[in-house]
Amino acid sequence: MSALKPHLSLSQIINMNVGFFGIQFSFGLQQANMSPIYQYLGADESKLPLLWLAGPVTGLLVQPIVGAMSDRTQSRWGRRTPYFLIGAILCSLGLLIMPYSPTLWFAAGMLWILDAANNVTMEPYRAYVSDRLNQDQHARGFLTQSAFTGLAQTLAYLTPSLLVWMGMNKDAVGDNHIPQATLTAFLIGAFLSFTTVWWSVKKVPELPLTEVERQHIAAAPKGPKATLAEIVDAMKHMPPTMRKLWWMKLFQWYGMMCYWIYIVPALAKTMFATTDPQSAGFRDASLLNGQIGGFYNFVAFLAAFAMLPFVRRWGPKAVHATCLLAAALGMWMLPTIQDKALLFVPMIGIGLAWASIMGNPYVMLAGSIPPERAGVYMGIFNMFIVIPMLIQMVTLPLIYHSLLGGQPDNVIRLAGVLLACAAVAVLRVPTATSK
């Protein structure tokens, strides 16, 4: 199969990843705005992780199932395309409705729908990149995907601030206390979610299945029972590289969720001396998070391309460990800073890590899994993201007051410790290819 794959130019690789821009713009809006939205609607700060459960639960259920189904799908559109087109449409609808949430339970419910839609799109899209590229182009393909993650989330984080800079009143809020700038950002995301995926489908369609692949799919058992059996069998025969990546992913994603959920309350406390979600200082903290988050995602956008020669020379494992350590240092610096300009310094380390997180683990993974099971293994690999998130969301409320003193800045420090642990763990991962 690999001999039949055409070598893609950089422009083709960019076009095939444009759709990832829309997917990640949606994720960026969630990362930057869901905690403030929940607090605008009356959520208690210590319970915030529980309200984020939608993402990991839907990812845990949806991605491996959709991945396994896409491995066995034959259609005029291809194996993967029907899934990420349907997911993109549903995601656009979720983004349209979310900022109009009248109550806390409604917003939490909409996040479940929105995350389910994003997850339907996500793993078939990663498998599509693996399908379309030869192994010698995997690093370029996944790091380009990482670059689009950085660019999309830069704009997602910055959009409310850009709207304010263009004249929108930062204190203008709806009846549900959600700022108009946030609402407009979600409407922009709804437009981008579908149109960018459609662009990639038109510009770089999937390769037609070979006769051998068609026969393999036709011979495979169908139905829910067969899909679940495929997932179980794939987990039993998981490659050693993939098994070892679990420990790195556990520390890495527990830490990143700590950061995303508590960065706005932490900034409100350390920069604006407030814990009141209805105060102007809290809204300022949300906008400031958009600015520093946009910056670290822009660093990630640049770093994703810049680290390619380093990955070729030293391998994805060493590069990923270095980037995680840079982020760990940045997390520890953050709560000590009270000058807005200096906040951008630790964001450099976090941006390097984010570029690496969205690319290098997939470089390590793609070289170790059989191509005919790329969908199911990419879906299972996502379980290594969502299970740590679930653990974080269930356990952090238990230690928020007892071990962390009820202080959001201490959660950010904890994130730094966990990212350092992830850096150590990734060095223990065997890889099929070191460069």
CA atoms in the 13 A half-sphere facing the CB of 425: 21
Q: Is it the case that residue 176 has pLDDT exceeding 70? A: yes
Output the pLDDT for position 432: 54
Q: Please tell me the pTM assigned to this model.
A: 0.71
Burial 107-141 (b: 16+ CB within 10 A, else e): bbebbebbbbbbbbbbbbbbbbbbbbbeeebbbbb
Nearest to 58 by CA among 120, 143, 6, 5: 120
Q: What is the mean pLDDT of the chain?
A: 85
Q: Is it the case that residue 230 has pLDDT exceeding 90? A: no
Residue 4 pLDDT class (50, 70, 90 cuts): low
DSSP state of 93: H
For residues 147 and 199, the model is more confident at 199
Q: What is the pLDDT of residues 49-106, one digit of tens each?
A: 888 887 777 777 777 777 777 777 777 777 888 888 888 899 999 999 999 999 998 9
Q: What is the pLDDT of residues 289-341, one digit of tens each?
A: 989 988 998 898 888 878 888 888 888 899 999 999 999 999 999 999 989 99
Output the pLDDT for position 431: 64
Output the pLDDT for position 433: 44
Q: How many residues does the chain have?
A: 435
Q: Is it the case that residue 188 has pLDDT exceeding 90? A: yes
Output the pLDDT for position 2: 44
**Helix locations, 135-279, DSSP H:** 138-165, 180-203, 211-219, 224-236, 240-272
> Do 265 and 275 contact (CB within 8 A), yes or no?
yes
Most confident listed range (42-46, 61-65, 421-425): 421-425
Output the pLDDT for position 285: 92
Average pLDDT over residues 370-384: 75
Q: Is it the case that residue 286 has pLDDT exceeding 60? A: yes
Residues 6+ apart with CB under 8 A from 24: 148, 149, 152, 153, 156
Output the pLDDT for position 392: 92
Least confident segment among 174-188, 230-244, 358-372: 358-372
**Residues forming beta bridges with residue 173, ordered by sequence position:** 179
Q: What is the pLDDT of residues 114-142, one digit of tens each?
A: 888 888 887 777 778 777 887 778 778 87
CA atoms in the 13 A half-sphere facing the CB of 258: 31
